[in-house]
Structure 1
Amino acid sequence: MLMERIASGSQWSLLVIASLILGFLFQAFHVPAALLLGPMIVGVLMGLLGATVRIAPVFFKIAQGILGCMIAQSLSPSILPPLLNDWPMVLLVLVATLLASGLSGWLLVKFSSLPGPTGAWGSSPGGASAMVAMAGDFGADVRLVAFMQYLRVLFVATAAAFVARITLGDSASAAAVIWFPPVDWRFAATLLLALAGVWLGPRLRIPSGALLLPAVVGAVLHSTETMTLQVPEWLLAMAYTLIGWSVGLRFTRPIFRLALQTLPQMVASIIGLMLICGGMAWVLTQVLHVDMLTAYLATSPGGLDTVAIIAAGSNVNLGFVMAMQTLRLLTIIVTGPAMAKFISRSAKPSSSMP
């Protein structure tokens, strides 16, 4: 393959330069999450062309920890009243998402050659990395689950960013960015919090713990004014880029070939789920009086981290988005095994994948 003939050092150089060009080009056109989408698209193209470079899992988790600290700055007790006051609607949206993902997985297994557990876990709209980690324990093909999850992340991230661009116009990213603000000891403490989440998350068996732990602990520290978190733009840009590369480089040609025979069904399943979640977003705007973009991001079936990045660059209610996304992640984790068993037993695929 083309990229395999290029030395590893040259691949890294190409990855960095192309990502910078595309990322800043997107930023020039005020595309939300430009520094996520640019590296992600470059990673996909290089992965399909045979690139051998990869982002070490620990760096992906550190990037999630930094993202968690950024999210913490927007989480406050003020997001709870809307969720508690309208808990029936919040519960209805969670259940509807669960049923929609279950139907999506059932139809995918029914009308493709995917094994039941693989289709079920690949269709679950929780945190992509958490779904991949859990899938192997329930008899699913982890390679295909990862492909399906990150294909949906790619679709959702791209769609959400452009919906934000269309909705907000030039105001989506028009604010001047201060790349290198002054920092003090709180910057070191913020980094320590991010690293603590990376270390503790797996040990406490918390799904997406590298992101959620710094977000929750940081929100308590930030909202009580115990400590103001400092997450400068240059650090966020590095985190966005690492997450984009981690997702994009997973799209290797061998995995793509393996998934090719069921790719149309996968794409149809993803688009169907996105449309259903978009409908639920409209319902949320009518009941909870949140703007359409906030509701859209809150219900989008993408990865927790990528949705957070898009929300952060879109002037929406980030706290509400993260509260809804986290509730859905926890719901999927609890119900996922039972859903996978049900789909495996009730949906009878027409053939078996070799």
Structure 2
Amino acid sequence: MRFSPAAAGRWVALTLVTILLTILAERVGVPSAALFVGLAVATVFALAKVGPAKVPSRASQAAQAVLGVEIGTLLDRDTLASLGTDWIPVVLVSLGTLLLSIGAGAALGLHRDLSATTGALALVAGGASGMVAIARDLGGDERVVAVVQYLRVLLVTASLPFVATVVFHADTGRGVGPADSGAPLWVDAVFILGCLAVGVPLARLIRLPAPALLGPLIVATVADLAGWTGGAEVPTLLLAAVYVVIGWQAGLRFTVESFRSIGRILPWATLLIVAIAVGCALLGLILVATTSVTPYEAYLATTPGGIYAVLALAAASDVNVTFVVAAQVLRVFLMLLIVPLFTRRRQRGD
């Protein structure tokens, strides 16, 4: 990509507007604010033809890799241990959610404006940012994936307080304090760079799909489960920057025609998102029947999206938070690990 003052000015304008609106969105509680604002601002800049041409591939790959580390650190030993003997029902319910997502994605892929791959990636119930990040690598339309995935997160997140208070009469007034990882920044940096240095080449060597995401994800997971992380994690500001880059990656590719075609898809996508949410709630009945959790805890554990909102709501309620955390993290992990493999296998079969 050639440098020019005009191109630099476009990047500066895009960055400043994104930072300002992300701060405002965070303050009013917009879910996945950095990803949403990055997507929205880049889309407006692209449609107005005042934005950069595209996100450089190296920046896109770096964002995927850091995101993989973040997801990998979620699945630690304490999280898995909290499931106890309930891990089999939780895994089965997570796989059921995966099947629901694949079925809904296949239905969305029947739309004349979409490919089957795009439909499948757009409705995966977990890891929205990861799916957007790797959509192009897997042959999908990242613009559609970004819009539909964010719509899923938005609908699920918006419905959480209503369902919690109206359906389950939950008390969500406990509140929680901020978490403290305790690791200095240099430990975070060494851990992240180590996961990237080992994970990306390894994933390419064994020919994993989306190697920039899955390689660091697998290495970070192994390190976390083995207790080798030293409490390291992805710093909040770096993670926000990653989400912004992923949002830009999709938003800058928008055109007026693609915007119109996605508008035609949204009613059908919304119906399918509601269907997935209802199906996951029914899967929660399996947890109620086979474990000691309450219906409210099962609902929180199987909600198909908005993981951070779910965890915040669980922490603010009188529920088994560790069970909800374990079930939600396992769902996201399985989605991001299995779906790229399934998509690549399907493409080879075609």
Q: Once the two structures are superposed, what CA deviation does each residue of 1:316-343 show, in whole Å capped at 9, x if it has no partner?
A: 755542322232344445555787899x
Q: Once the two structures are superposed, what CA deviation does each residue of 1:183-216 show, in whole Å capped at 9, x if it has no partner?
A: 3355234223235434443443323443343333
1:57-206 to 2 correspondence within 5 Å?
A: 57-80=57-80, 82=83, 85-88=86-89, 90-95=91-96, 97-99=98-100, 101-103=102-104, 105-106=106-107, 109=110, 112-114=111-113, 117=116, 121=120, 125=124, 127-130=131-134, 132-135=136-139, 142=140, 145-162=141-158, 175=177, 182-184=184-186, 187-206=189-208
- Matched residues in 1 for 2:114 and 2:32: separation? 35
Q: Once the two structures are superposed, what CA deviation does each residue of 1:206-255 show, in whole Å capped at 9, x if it has no partner?
A: 23443343333224334444341253333223222222322333433232
Match of 2:218 in 1: 216
Deviation, 1:15, is: 1.8
Matched, 1:234 2:237: yes
Match of 1:251 in 2: 254
Gaps of 5+ in 1: 1-5, 136-141, 301-306, 345-354
Are residues 193 and 93 of structure 1, via their aligned partners in 2, closer, same or farther at CA, if it must alter by over 3 Å? closer
Are residues 59 and 187 of structure 1, via their aligned partners in 2, closer, same or farther at CA, if it must alter by over 3 Å? same
- Matched residues in 2 for 1:39 and 1:201: separation? 28
Match of 2:22 in 1: 23
Match of 1:323 in 2: 330
Structure 2 residue matching 1:231: 3-state secondary structure: coil
Are residues 338 and 322 of structure 1, via their aligned partners in 2, closer, same or farther at CA, if it must alter by over 3 Å? same
- Matched residues in 2 for 1:212 and 1:341: separation? 19
Tell me, yes or no, if the aligned pair for 2:280 and 2:302 is still in contact at 8 Å: no
Match of 1:139 in 2: none
Gaps of 5+ in 2: 126-130, 165-170, 316-320
- Matched residues in 1 for 2:177 and 2:63: separation? 24
Structure 2 residue matching 1:133: 3-state secondary structure: coil
Report the RMSD for the aligned CA atoms in angstroms: 4.3
Per the normalisation by structure 1, the TM-score is 0.68
Deviation, 1:17, is: 2.0
Number of aligned positions between the proteins: 318
Are residues 79 and 206 of structure 1, via their aligned partners in 2, closer, same or farther at CA, if it must alter by over 3 Å? farther
Are residues 83 and 147 of structure 1, via their aligned partners in 2, closer, same or farther at CA, if it must alter by over 3 Å? farther
- Matched residues in 2 for 1:123 and 1:233: separation? 26
What code does the residue aligned with 2:40 have?
I
1:252-267 to 2 correspondence within 5 Å?
A: 252-259=255-262, 261-267=264-270
- Matched residues in 2 for 1:237 and 1:146: separation? 19
- Matched residues in 1 for 2:252 and 2:287: separation? 35
Deviation, 1:25, is: 1.4
- Matched residues in 2 for 1:261 and 1:237: separation? 30
Deviation, 1:155, is: 0.8
Deviation, 1:49, is: 3.2
Deviation, 1:42, is: 2.0
Are residues 16 and 122 of structure 1, via their aligned partners in 2, closer, same or farther at CA, if it must alter by over 3 Å? same
- Matched residues in 1 for 2:262 and 2:45: separation? 18
Larger deviation: 32-41 or 261-270?
Answer: 261-270
Tell me, yes or no, if the aligned pair for 1:23 and 1:34 is still in contact at 8 Å: yes
- Matched residues in 1 for 2:191 and 2:109: separation? 46
Match of 1:3 in 2: none
Tell me, yes or no, if the aligned pair for 1:157 and 1:310 is still in contact at 8 Å: no
Q: Once the two structures are superposed, what CA deviation does each residue of 1:91-112 show, in whole Å capped at 9, x if it has no partner?
A: 2552454255325533762xx4
Identity %: 21
- Matched residues in 1 for 2:214 and 2:345: separation? 24
- Matched residues in 2 for 1:169 and 1:25: separation? 24
Q: Once the two structures are superposed, what CA deviation does each residue of 1:294-326 show, in whole Å capped at 9, x if it has no partner?
A: 432xx33xxxxxx67767877675554232223
Are residues 275 and 108 of structure 1, via their aligned partners in 2, closer, same or farther at CA, if it must alter by over 3 Å? farther
- Matched residues in 1 for 2:45 and 2:340: separation? 32
Matched, 1:42 2:41: yes
Are residues 12 and 327 of structure 1, via their aligned partners in 2, closer, same or farther at CA, if it must alter by over 3 Å? same
- Matched residues in 1 for 2:276 and 2:199: separation? 31
Tell me, yes or no, if the aligned pair for 2:62 and 2:212 is still in contact at 8 Å: yes
Tell me, yes or no, if the aligned pair for 1:19 and 1:42 is still in contact at 8 Å: yes
Tell me, yes or no, if the aligned pair for 1:221 and 1:227 is still in contact at 8 Å: yes
Tell me, yes or no, if the aligned pair for 1:42 and 1:248 is still in contact at 8 Å: yes
Per the normalisation by structure 2, the TM-score is 0.69
- Matched residues in 2 for 1:55 and 1:275: separation? 37
